[in-house]
Each structure stands twice: as C-alpha cells, then as structure tokens.
Chain A
Amino acid sequence: MFVRTLALLVALSLPVSTASADVSLGDAAGRYSIGAGGSSIRFSIAKLGGGGLNGAFGRFSGTIRIDGADVGRSSVEITIFPDSVGTGQGRIDAFLRSDAVFDSANAPQIVFRSTSVKRTGETTAVIAGRLTARGRSSPEVFTAKLDSLKRGTVAFHVTGKVLRSSYGMDVGTPIYSNVVDFDMTLVGRRG
C-alpha cells in the first residue's frame, strides 16, 4: 500500500518530459468537455521594437473526442467568446472587442473545428481544422501535446500561429505583427 502510494506520488511529480512516457493518446480514448477550470487560452502578438501584446480569453467551451483504436479519427471542436478577451488594460480590451478587431457584438463566437488529427508521437498530434471568425473561415494548424491523463481528465498543451489578416483583423500591422501566437492549456473532463 505504502509502496503503491509512493509510486503514484513519484509518477505525478515527475517532470512532463519523463511523465510523457506514462501517458499515451491511445489510453485517453473517450469524449471530453473542455471547461474553463484549469484551462486557459492565451495569445501574444509581437510589437515592432520589442515586446508584445499579451492577452487571454476568459470564456470558451469545446469537446475533444479521442479515438482509442485510431487516434487519427479523433476530433476537437472549440468555441471562444471574444467578448471575454482580457489584456489587463481596459482600453485595449474595448478596442479588441470593437469592430476594429473581433466585432464581438455582431460576431460573438470564434469557432475551431478539426478536419484532421495526425498523431506525431506517443503524446503528440498535429490538428488541422477550420477556424471561423467574423464570418470568415480559414484552415489552421495547431500542435497538441497530452500533458496529463488521470481519473477521467485530460490536459493538453496546444500551440499554433494564426494570421489575423485571414479574418479581417489586420488592424495595426506592421506595428503589431500579423502573427498571433496561441498558447493554450485545455483541460477536458470525460462525459
């Protein structure tokens, strides 16, 4: 009993790089709901002269389906509510919500739907799909890594680059880069 507890503690406290061997996409089969608890969708846009504009979306929801037999048949769908954008500066938030960028009054949702999932390793996959924002759709690619899997909860670290010009949001280029760097932690609960 004591040995089992110790082994579990060690497994949980191992750094991600070695812990990755303990979790596998194949073991994570099931349907998961992405919730705001533990999840975050952060973004960063580089500025000329250094630094960048950093922000996050506070409200989003989604579903992850992992096919245990064939990870390539897995899918992900996520909806972001751009009204919930936050940068720590109210005037910038208002600007982002306005028709200069998200136009969240008329386009309250940003939706990503995967079209293909390619497994690239024991815990990693490349997810291609269509991102729709302000009435425009464009193919995008994200990289996902399964960070943890325990008791019906999966946590993915997802990164990707999106060109905002694809969605009519290129205001401020070239002072602010056209490239938006996404860095997400998506925690899904089975069911």
Chain B
Amino acid sequence: MPSFRLRNTTTRYGWIAILLHWLIAVLFIGQFALGLAMVRIASQRTAFELIQWHKSFGFLLLGLVLVRIGWRLGNARPTLPETVASFERRAAPLVHALLYAAQLGVPLSGWALVSVSMLEVPSVPFDLFVMPNLPLVVSDDAETFWSGAHQWLAWAGMALAALHILAALRHRFLLRDSVFQRMIAPSSGDEPRE
C-alpha cells in the first residue's frame, strides 16, 4: 500500500489529520509559552511585538482548529485497538472533547480579550490584514473578565495536554500498542494490513 494516504480509515489516521494534530500541538503549547513570556518581559517594546506575534499565531491556530474539526467530521474515526482497557475507552474521548473545547476556547477568549481591551490595539495577523474585533463592548470590567478567562482556559488546556501526552507516552513505552504510532504516520506501527 502507498504510504501517501491523506484520509483516515477506521484503523488509521491519514496524513491530513496527522499534520493538523502536530501543527496544532506545536502552536497550542508554543502559544502558551509565548503568552507567559510576553507578559513577564521587562522591555515594553519587545512585549508589544511579542503580543502581536501571539495574536497572529492565535488567529492561525483558530483557523487550523476549525479546519481540523471540519476534517474530523468528514472523515472516518479510527477506533482504538481491542487491547485498550475500558476505563481508557471512556476517558480518552472525554479528554479529546475537552482538548477540542480548549483549542477553540483559548483563541476565542483571546480574540474577545483584544476586542474589549481599553487599549484598542487593532489585530493585524502577520501584518497581512485587519482582523475585525468581536462585537463586544469595550470596558475595563470586560477586559479584566476576558483576561482572566483567557489565562484560566490556557492553563486548563495545558493540563489537558499534559494528561494527553502522558497517556500517549504510556502507549508508546509501556503498552507498546499502535495508539501512539498511528499519529506518527498512516503506515507505521505494528499492524501490517490493508
């Protein structure tokens, strides 16, 4: 079988799903690190520039997440191998659903934050175009609320990602089943079939 498989099957993820997974993983965690750095850095100039990068990557992340959700809805869902325990069969979809909620909620709450900010700094992703603000009212209280929500969601997202990573590493190094490998490539792993 050719390894250039774009779409999912009932046992394997295709290249599109794999690419989206890793791209979003890097962006999601990278954005968290950038977010922490930009509010702690002493130089106001560097802080301003980092915040604009954070907004640019945030909109990119939101766009990719929407593509990913669309792709997931239009593709087969690989089922877990039969060896996976029943607790994990119930826990994994819950964590995945919460991760999707965080992937949407973190960038959306960031968009809300810049929309209500008293500073009224326009969002211009990668200096390419002006992203309109969400139709929310600018106020100090709204800014405080969305700032808190954005941070809280980001930390929750990182906690979920940590759980997800630990579970994935367990499959890779302890259980040594195909669950981890099938997010590396459609044809790798221990199931030589189809």
Min CB–CB distance B164 → chain A (angstroms): 35
Is B120 positioned at the interface, with any CB of A under 8 Å from its CB?
A: yes
Given contacts A48-B130, A174-B127, contact A98 B44 (CB under 8 A): yes
Q: Which residue of B lies closest to A168 (CB)?
A: B45
Which of A35-43, A57-65, A77-85, A88-96 is found at the contact surface with chain B? A88-96
Interface residue count on the B side (C-beta < 8 Å): 15
- The contact string, 1 if C-beta is below 8 Å from chain A, for chain B 27-49, is 00000000000000001110011
Q: Are A172 and B48 in contact (CB under 8 A)?
A: yes
Please pick, from A51, A99, A101, A174, the residue contacting B120 in the complex, using a CB distance under 8 A: A51
Interfacial residues of chain B within 122-153, with CB under 8 A of chain A in the complex: 122, 124, 127, 130, 132
Identify A175's interface contact among B43, B118, B121, CB under 8 A: B121
Please determine whether B124 and A48 come into contact, CB atoms closer than 8 angstroms.
Answer: yes
B48 touches A171 (CB 8 A): yes
| Complex contacts, A91 vs chain B, CB 8 Å | 118-119
Is B8 interfacial (CB-CB < 8 Å)? Answer: no
Check: A121 CB closer than 8 A to any chain B CB: no
B39 to chain A, nearest CB (A): 13
Residue of B nearest to A170 (CB): B45
Q: Is the interface of B mostly helix, strand, loop or mixed?
A: loop
> Is A92 within 8 A of B122, CB to CB?
no
Q: Assuming the A-B contacts A47-B122, A49-B122, A175-B52, are A95 and B44 also in contact, with contact meaning beta carbons closer than 8 angstroms in the complex? A: yes
**Which residues of B have CB within 8 Å of A100?**
43-45, 48
By a CB distance below 8 angstroms, the chain B residues around A49 are: 122, 124, 130, 132
| Chain A interface, number of residues (Cβ within 8 angstroms) | 17
A84-114 vs B, CB cutoff 8 Å, 1 = contact: the mask equals 0000010110110011110000000000000
Taking CB atoms, residues of chain A closer than 8 Å to B132 are 49
Q: Contact check, A99 vs B43: say whether CB atoms are below 8 A apart.
A: yes
A95 CB contacts on chain B under 8 angstroms:
44, 48
Chain A residues with Cβ under 8 A from B48's Cβ?
A: 95, 100, 171-172
Q: How far is the CA of A15 from the CA of B27 in the complex (A)?
A: 60
For the complex formed, measure the closest distance between the CB of B127 and the CB atoms of chain A, giving whole angstroms.
Answer: 6
Alpha-carbon gap, A101 to B44, bound state (A)? 9
Min C-beta distance of B139 to chain A, whole Å: 13
Chain B residues in 8 Å Cβ range of A98:
44-45
B44's partner among A47, A99, A174, A175 (CB-CB below 8 A) is: A99
| Residues 170-191 of A at the B interface (beta carbon under 8 Å) | 171-172, 174-175
Chain A residues, Cβ within 8 Å of B118: 89, 91
- Closest A residue to B46 by beta carbon equals A100
Residue interface mask A12-34, B partner, CB < 8 A = 1: 00000000000000000000000
Q: List 23 A-B contacts (CB under 8 A).
A: A47-B122, A48-B124, A49-B124, A49-B130, A49-B132, A51-B120, A89-B119, A91-B118, A91-B119, A92-B119, A94-B44, A98-B44, A99-B44, A100-B43, A100-B44, A100-B48, A101-B45, A171-B48, A171-B49, A172-B48, A174-B124, A175-B52, A175-B122
Other than the given A100-B43, A171-B45, 4 more pairs (CB < 8 A) read A89-B118, A101-B45, A171-B49, A172-B48
Query: Which B residues form the contact surface with A (CB < 8 A)?
Result: 43-45, 48-49, 52, 118-122, 124, 127, 130, 132
Nearest 10 A-B pairs (CB), nearest first? A100-B45, A49-B130, A100-B44, A98-B44, A49-B122, A171-B45, A175-B124, A48-B130, A48-B122, A95-B44
